[in-house]
Structure formats: structure tokens, C-alpha cells
Chain A
Amino acid sequence: QSALTQPASVSGSPGQSITISCTGASSDVGRYNYVSWYQQHPGKAPKLMIYDVSNRPSGVSNRFSGSKSGNTASLTISGLQAEDEADYYCSSYRSSDTPYVFGTGTKVTVL
């Protein structure tokens, strides 16, 4: 049950845009439009930022957007702010027996 692949770290200056990739396989990311993204600050619980590839839950800033192409999903943060500094995880539906596979996680640093 291999994890989805994310870059270990991404950084950007305040106001810039950054994109985090999430690469899976044709059996998960490539097959289903059930990709989610979570933000996790140190010592805190994860927070859902994006679901179904590109939908934002109520209350999540529109600076966060999601997309997918083939086996790779992406999270873009525009207008980067200091409070965006956190770990980000993608997840995808994989099968009825194993509904979730998570990504390896990306640490976002605001320079």
C-alpha cells in the first residue's frame, strides 16, 4: 500500500504562489476524482482544505485551489501568507477495501 509521492518541501515568499504536486497511479489518483488536501500545523490536527480534487469546504480561503492531470494532483496556494506555513498532505480514494492512501507530506516554508 504505497503512499502517494509529494515533494518534501516547497518554499515561497509572501504574496507569491506555490504549487504542491501529488503523484499516484492509474489505480488511485488517475482513476478517481476523490483527491483531498489537508493542512497540518505543528502539534495540531489536520484540516481539510480541498476535496473532490478542486472543491473548498466552507471557510477555507479561496487562495487555495486544487487540480488534477492524469495521475498527478496539485494544490496551489496563491498570495502566500505567513500562516500558510505548515505541512500539507494529499490523499486519494484507492479501493473499497482501502479507501484512503495519503501522500508523503510537504513542508511549506514562507521565506
Chain B
Amino acid sequence: EVQLLESGGGLVQPGGSLRLSCAASGFTFSSYAMSWVRQAPGKGLEWVSAISGSGGSTYYIDSVKGRFTISRDNSKNTQYLQMNSLRAEDMAVYYCAKELRFPAGGGMDVWGQGTTVTVSS
């Protein structure tokens, strides 16, 4: 069964850091680009970041550039999102998603259950 399982969410103070993880199973992880998508409470979906299958290409929404870093370890079938200098507006459920193809943008066909990031003092 194709599956994505996120972890690492939690409560963090403004300015703090968190690292999200997404463990993949059921498909050849290294063959697919991956993305992170977030959803603030009561709001819509917002694409955050994507990474190519090899990890050599990365992409970010403007609001997180310089603060977030996406990476992957294909030997562990896991992708990561390192989030630094967190702001109140980063508070959301973060979803890990598998891209249909590379480059990203053609659709995400497998989603994790989401992990919640709360930014509050």
C-alpha cells in the first residue's frame, strides 16, 4: 500500500524551529518528486515547497524562502522540512504529498494525514 506518514509537528514559540519528517512506503521513493502543502486553521490549501527525486532541485513559496529547507534521504525513504524563524502565519496542518511527475506542478496523487504546527508564545 502506498503511504506517507508525517511526524514532527508540535507547539513552538515565534522565532523557533521545527523539523517535519515524512516517511514513504509502497513506491519507489527516489523516482518521484515530493511536496509539502499546508493549511492554516479554517483556510485553504497552500503549496509550500517541492523537491526533485534526486534532491538536486528544490522550490519554495516566497514567504518561506530563507527560513524553510526541504531535503530528502532516499536511503531512508524520507523527506524533511526544516522550519526556522517560525511566525504565527506559519501555523497550519502540514501535509506531505507525492508528485505525479517532475517537475512538480502536475498534481499530487498521494497525501499523508498531516502534522500540526502551532506557533504561539
- Residues of chain A having any CB pair with chain B under 8 Å: 1, 3, 32, 34, 36, 38, 40, 45-48, 51-52, 57, 89, 91, 93-94, 96-105
Contacts and interface: CB of A to CB of B under 8 A. Distances in A.
Contacts, number: 69
A4 B114 CA distance: 23
Most buried by A among B35, B47, B114: B47
B45 A34 contact: no
Interface of B: 35, 37, 44-47, 50, 59, 61-62, 95, 100, 103-109, 111-114
Given A45-B95, A46-B45, A99-B104, 20 more contacts: A1-B61, A1-B62, A32-B105, A34-B106, A45-B111, A45-B113, A45-B114, A46-B111, A47-B111, A48-B108, A52-B106, A89-B45, A93-B106, A96-B59, A99-B59, A100-B47, A102-B45, A102-B46, A103-B44, A104-B44
Contacts of B111: 45-47
A40 to B, nearest CB: 8
Contacts of B95: 45-46
Contacts of A51: 100, 106-107, 109
A20 B9 CA distance: 33
B49 to A, nearest CB: 10
Contacts of B114: 45
Contacts of B62: 1, 98
B105 A3 contact: no
A2 to B, nearest CB: 12
B45 A38 contact: yes
A1 B21 CA distance: 26
A48 B109 CA distance: 5
A36 B112 contact: no
Given A38-B45, A102-B44, A102-B47, A45 B108 contact: no
A105 B107 contact: no
